[in-house]
Amino acid sequence: MQKRSFLASTLWRRHQNPWNWLVQLLGVLLVALAVWLHRGTEAGAGLALFLVGMLDFRLPRFPVSGRFPKRIRRWIRAEVVWVNKPWTRSKRIEAALLFLATLFMLAVLWWGSLPGLGLTVGGFVLLQARRANRDAGIDP
Can you give the pLDDT of all 140 residues of the chain as single tens digits? Answer: 566 677 777 777 787 888 889 999 999 999 999 999 999 898 999 999 988 888 888 888 888 888 999 999 999 898 889 888 999 998 999 899 889 988 988 888 889 888 888 888 888 889 888 888 888 888 76
Give the separation between CA 55 and CA 67, rounded to whole angstroms. 26
88 DSSP assignment: -
pLDDT of residue 88: 93
The pTM for the full model equals 0.78
Give the separation between CA 8 and CA 28, rounded to whole angstroms. 20
Residue 82: CB atoms within 10 A of its CB come to 12
Gap between the terminal Cα atoms of the chain: 47
Dihedral, CA of residue 34, residue 121, residue 100 and residue 13, to nearest 10: 70
